[in-house]
Amino acid sequence: MKALLRSEWIKFRTVRGWVVAMTLAAGVIVGLGLLPGQQGSCGRSGPDCVLPVGPDGERVTDRFTFVNSPLHGDGSITVRVTSLTGLLPPAADGGEPRPGPVPWAKAGIIIKDGTRQGSTYAAVMVTGGHGTRMQHDFVHDRAGRPGAATPSSPRWLRLTRTGATVTGAESADGVTWTTVDSVRLPGLPSVMRAGLFVTSPQYAEATREGFGLSGASGAPTQATATFDGVDARGFDPQWTTDSIGPPPAGGSAPVPVGGSALAGGVHTVTGSGDIAPAVAGATGIGATITQTLVGTFAGLIIVVVVATLFATAEYRRGLIRTTLAASPRRGRTLVAKAIVIGSVAFAGGLVAAAIVVTLGQPVLRANGVYVHPATTATEVRVVVGTAVLLGLAAVLAVALGALLRRGAAAVTAAVVAVVLPYLLAVSVLPVEAARWLLRVTPAAAFAVQQSTPEYPQVANLYTPALGYFPLAPWAGLAVLLAWVALALGCAMVRLRRRDV
Amino acid sequence: MIRVALSAEWTKLRTAPGTVWLLVAVVVPTIGVSAAAAAAVGCSADVCGVDPARISLTGIQLGQAAVAVLAVLMVGTEYGTGLMGVTLAAMPRRVTVLAAKAAILVAVVAPAALFAVLGCLVVGRVILPGHGIPVPLDSLSRPAAGSVLYLVAIALLGLGVAVAVRDSATAIGVVLALLYVYPIVIRVVSDPTWLRRLERIGPTAGLAIQATTGLDGLAIGPWRGLGVLAGWATAALLLGALLLHHRDA
């Protein structure tokens, strides 16, 4: 086997065009990754785009209208929410703002460590379309009863702090109470702020203009809630109204106005924003490291062409007879070929992706683009995953080359299998069909490049076009691996059974 | 002279074992993908942004690969086997050889493309109304005629590229990069004005011919888009002819 690997390596190394092409593939990935194609306004004409940091170190969105009072030590607030309404931005073809609220508009009671953005909190709330929820520290979410708060069926909420424990409860009549969740917040100081809050996240809509890939447009929304029967236990509320965070940027109408009014024991609170982890895409800002790796597609084509030629060129020149005469165990020859070209593609991909992921982010930031920070583990996964993807694509091309023996047919089969499903998924097909396609075809492997997670409690367009894939990263790569194994198996059987 | 060349090219193409299968591949998978896309689309709202013609013609995205392979192999196999030397010895006027190849290629691809396009539109017409998407018949003539021309132009583009690079695998790699990777990679540009410019000048601008709704939102008009693709095909053929004329075979 060692001799086989060595001979295949020499066959690759001594064809100058192939070596140049493989280097070019890596160069294209780097070039497209570092190309300053994106421009942003962060730190130039606009704000500095520094997102608040949550208690667990993650970047968060923390913007809401907060009717609050200092709370010393233990205490509880009970309130009745009698309505939650809202406004959505006008439809794409203009017109008036549409009535809301958006499904993740939130109104309820919150206990928070001061009014600083990103500080620890726990909140129980009614939402526009997801029922009652208890959330804390941005990423944690627990569902209560479904249904909305309306004047005919109001919803009672209660938030109780006892030491480090905060308990949220709900009731349909103010008499029988159900605990939604009980959470421990070790970082909560003895003096904090407690009160009512309303917020309404960015609204996003898929746009599909012309024959370009589908995009997205988003705009701020607002929500208004009415609270009555506010009952504070354990403290004497001194209500002040704060707008946490700056008003949301972007979009024109409706202009989100935050504020509150108190009349006859009824608080009417209007807010816009969100209390949630920050996301990339339609409802968030900025780019992800996934977008810097778009050159993978261009590199992939070159890798596929070289790998196919590596397999089929021997047939054309008759070298395959010499090869198989020298090592009659044909399966091993094919495996040696696959290992050599797969390793070359892997190595090239590893270097290129590592350069893009480390250098691409400063380039984007220098252009004023906000780049969502990824953990080192995610970065390593994206880099190694991209390299594995290219390596597997090379092996697939070798297998198809040995199976079909025609360079053009093999290249087409490999490209149609790996790239076309992705292109169809992000351009013509409806989202459901696109997600299905990216589960079963070799294109599922691009999931390994996803760099920001999906949060069910954050409304966003989690579509493949925006870098969110239906499969988990390594599961997507496993789908490609299965296809490669199938192709390699068929190629071996064919190589053994057939004359050369 | 040209009649002899045409007859020679026709014989070569007719007797190549892969030709019939590639023509089948132009038609059957194309219609299959279109049927699947039409079956997958759903419209619950009153107004949905689905263009019936475009969904019906989704399969063209796959069919164009088979067309390109057919075109590339017409030249690539001759270079691969050394037949090109014989061809050019028998027919020293090289540009005539290329013209004959192009003519025969068009003659073979056009009927297959017609079958594929009509099949796609019939499938869409049958399936889409059941999913709440009306398919007005009178709107389909431009996408139908235009898509046939689109596939013919893709064939000529493939032929030109293949003559220029003289290797099937590399040639098909170049063509598929233009058709599949270009529209993905230009997304690296976030500025909408530049993105539209890049969409307008790429060969995939030709797909605009499929559109029947939302024409104002297109980066380029239907016929002008097809014109851009025709420009690419002409440029590839000219490049191929130039290289063929001035280079050793």
Write the residue in A37, A208, A304 that is nearest to B189 by C-beta.
Answer: A37
| Number of Cα atoms under 13 Å in the Cβ half of residue A320 | 21
B29 close contact with A: CB closer than 8 A? no
Which range among A98-112, A172-186, A194-208 shows the weakest confidence by mean pLDDT?
A194-208
Q: Encoding tokens for residue A136?
A: 């804390």
CB B60 within 8 A of CB B30: yes
Instruction: Give the chain B residue whose CA is nearest to the CA of A288.
Output: B188
Nearest residue to A313 (alpha-carbon basis) of A5, A6, A2, A14: A14
Helix (H) or strand (E) holding A180: strand A178-184
B176 CB neighbours in chain A (<8 A) are: 301, 411-412, 415, 419
Write the residue in A39, A410, A426 that is nearest to B190 by C-beta.
Answer: A39
- Dist CA B206 CA B97 (whole Å): 27
Instruction: Give the chain B residue whose CA is nearest to the CA of A208.
Output: B49
A34 CB neighbours in chain B (<8 A) are: none
Q: Encoding tokens for residue A497?
A: 């059974």
ipTM score assigned to the predicted complex: 0.89
CB B15 within 8 A of CB B98: no
Chain B, residues 69-128, CB within 8 A of chain A, namely 69, 72-73, 76, 80-81
The per-residue pLDDT for A208 is 55
Measured between CA atoms, how close is A36 to chain B, in angstroms? 8
Is A436–B40 a contact, with Cβ atoms under 8 angstroms apart? yes
pLDDT digits (tens, 9 = 90+) for B203-241: 988 888 888 877 777 788 889 999 999 999 999 999 999
Region A331-337: mean pLDDT is 89
Q: Is A352 exposed, middle or buried (0-12, 13-18, 19+ CB in 10 A)?
A: buried
Write the residue in A304, A308, A408 that is nearest to B76 by C-beta.
Answer: A408
Alpha helices in B82-140 (DSSP H): 83-90, 94-127
- Dist CA A296 CA A389 (whole Å): 9
The per-residue pLDDT for A367 is 79
CB A177 within 8 A of CB A51: no
- Dist CA B223 CA B215 (whole Å): 11
The β-bridge partners of A162 are A165
The per-residue pLDDT for A210 is 42
The per-residue pLDDT for A156 is 92
User: What's the whole-number average pLDDT of chain A?
Assistant: 85
Strand, helix or coil for residue B3:
helix
Q: How confident is the model at residue A110 (pLDDT cuts 50, 70, 90)?
A: very high
Provide the strand spans (E) within A18-176.
60-62, 64-72, 75-88, 98-99, 106-112, 121-127, 132-136, 140-143, 155-162, 165-171
CB A441 within 8 A of CB B70: no
Is B61–A32 a contact, with Cβ atoms under 8 angstroms apart? no
What are the backbone angles phi and psi of residue B98, rounded to the nearest 5°? -65, -40
Measured between CA atoms, how close is B189 to chain A, in angstroms? 4
Write the residue in B37, B58, B65 that is nearest to A412 by C-beta.
Answer: B65
Residue type, position A14, single letter:
T
B24 close contact with A: CB closer than 8 A? no
B178 close contact with A: CB closer than 8 A? no
Q: How confident is the model at residue A106 (pLDDT cuts 50, 70, 90)?
A: very high
Region A136-157: mean pLDDT is 89
Q: How confident is the model at residue B185 (pLDDT cuts 50, 70, 90)?
A: confident
Give the residue, A328 or A422, on which the prediction is more confident.
A422
User: What's the whole-number average pLDDT of chain B?
Assistant: 87
Nearest residue to B143 (alpha-carbon basis) of B206, B69, B196: B206
Beta-carbon contacts of B29 under 8 Å, excluding residues fewer than 6 positions away, are: B59, B62, B63, B66
Q: Is A324 exposed, middle or buried (0-12, 13-18, 19+ CB in 10 A)?
A: middle
The per-residue pLDDT for A96 is 74
Beta-carbon contacts of B107 under 8 Å, excluding residues fewer than 6 positions away, are: none
The per-residue pLDDT for A48 is 62
Region A330-358: mean pLDDT is 92
Is B173–A304 a contact, with Cβ atoms under 8 angstroms apart? yes
pLDDT surpasses 80 at A491 = yes
Give the residue, A93 or A325, on which the prediction is more confident.
A325
A298 CB neighbours in chain B (<8 A) are: 177, 181, 185
Write the residue in A32, A209, A419 that is nearest to B217 by C-beta.
Answer: A209
Tally A–B CB contacts below 8 A.
154
Which range among A6-15, A35-44, A479-488, B23-32 shows the weakest confidence by mean pLDDT?
A35-44
- Dist CA A295 CA B26 (whole Å): 29
pLDDT digits (tens, 9 = 90+) for A201-215: 888 776 654 444 555
Which range among A111-115, A283-287, A411-415, B70-74 shows the weakest confidence by mean pLDDT?
A283-287
pLDDT surpasses 70 at B43 = no
Is B188–A436 a contact, with Cβ atoms under 8 angstroms apart? no
Is A301–B176 a contact, with Cβ atoms under 8 angstroms apart? yes
Nearest residue to B185 (alpha-carbon basis) of A302, A105, A122, A319: A302
Strand, helix or coil for residue B170:
helix
Strand, helix or coil for residue A290:
helix
Burial A306-319 (b: 16+ CB within 10 A, else e): bbbbbbbbbbbeee
Q: How confident is the model at residue A45 (pLDDT cuts 50, 70, 90)?
A: low
- Dist CA A64 CA B150 (whole Å): 53
The per-residue pLDDT for B216 is 74
B39-44, Cβ contacts within 8 angstroms, sequence gap of 24 or more: B39/B127, B39/B131, B40/A429, B40/A430, B40/A432, B40/A433, B40/A436, B41/A429, B41/A430, B41/A433, B41/B128, B41/B131, B41/B133, B42/A430, B42/A432, B42/B131, B42/B132, B43/B131, B43/B132, B43/B133, B44/B132
Q: Is B60 exposed, middle or buried (0-12, 13-18, 19+ CB in 10 A)?
A: buried
The β-bridge partners of A219 are A203
Nearest residue to A389 (alpha-carbon basis) of A308, A486, A478, A499: A478
Region A224-243: mean pLDDT is 87
Measured between CA atoms, how close is A327 to chain B, in angstroms? 26
B73 sits in the region (left: phi over 0; alpha: psi -120 to 50; else beta) called alpha
Region B79-98: mean pLDDT is 85
What share of chain A has pLDDT > 70, as a percent?
90
B54 CB neighbours in chain A (<8 A) are: 428
B44 close contact with A: CB closer than 8 A? no
The per-residue pLDDT for A206 is 67
pLDDT digits (tens, 9 = 90+) for A270-308: 988 889 888 876 666 777 888 888 889 999 999 999 999
Among B57, B181, B213, the strongest candidate for a mutation testing the A interface, having the largest count of A CBs within 10 A, is B181
The β-bridge partners of B238 are none
B62 CB neighbours in chain A (<8 A) are: 416, 420
B140 close contact with A: CB closer than 8 A? no
B39 DSSP assignment:
H
The per-residue pLDDT for A253 is 45
CB A207 within 8 A of CB B214: no
Give the residue, A237 or B190, on which the prediction is more confident.
A237
A407 CB neighbours in chain B (<8 A) are: 76, 80, 167-169, 172
Region B175-186: mean pLDDT is 91
Region A248-277: mean pLDDT is 74
Nearest residue to B174 (alpha-carbon basis) of B100, B116, B102, B239: B239
What share of chain B has pLDDT > 70, as a percent?
96
Q: Over A349-415, what HEC string results?
A: HHHHHHHHHHHHHHHHHHCCCCECCCCHHHHHHHHHHHHHHHHHHHHHHHHHHHHHCCHHHHHHHHH
The per-residue pLDDT for A41 is 66
Is B62–A409 a contact, with Cβ atoms under 8 angstroms apart? no
B171 close contact with A: CB closer than 8 A? yes
